[in-house]
Amino acid sequence: QVKLVESGGGSVEPGGSLTLSCAATEYAIDGRRMAWFRQVPGAEREGIASMGAFGRTNYADSVQGRFKIFKDNSKNVLFLRMANLKAGDTGMYFCAADSSDTWNLPPILQEDFYEYWGQGTQVTVSS
């Protein structure tokens, strides 16, 4: 049974940094399409960073240049490094994985493309 477990969330002041982790079980992340989503109460889940085949990435405009998605294939862990955090980055962050093992999948920020989801980790940016 595929399991995704996020960690690394917490409270940070504006301008600070955090790195989120997503450990995958029964799912080999190497070459697979995965993504990070963010949700705030009362709003829809928003795709913010995705990695497809060959390390190709896609970022939401709101995080471009500040966030970086990357993998450690040897540990089977997906990461999201977040820098220069703003109050608007506050939310629950979810890791997602595509069940398809088709090669050459592009990075996609739409949640319909992902079948596996973690339980989320909370990030709060506040002074």
pLDDT in tens, 32-58: 999 999 999 889 999 999 999 999 999
Residue 2: helix, strand or coil by DSSP?
A: coil
Which burial class, exposed, middle or buried, applies to 58 when counting CB atoms under 10 A from its CB (0-12, 13-18, 19+)? middle
User: DSSP string covering 24-87, please?
Assistant: EES---TT--EEEEEE-TTS--EEEEEE-GGG-EEE-TTTTTTEEEEEETTTTEEEEEE-S--G
Predicted local distance difference test score (pLDDT) of residue 25:
96
102 within 8 A of 33, measured Cβ to Cβ: no
Residue from 82, 75, 1 nearest 38 by CA: 82
Instruction: State the pairing for strand pair 121-125/91-97.
Output: antiparallel
Rounded mean pLDDT, 99-105: 87
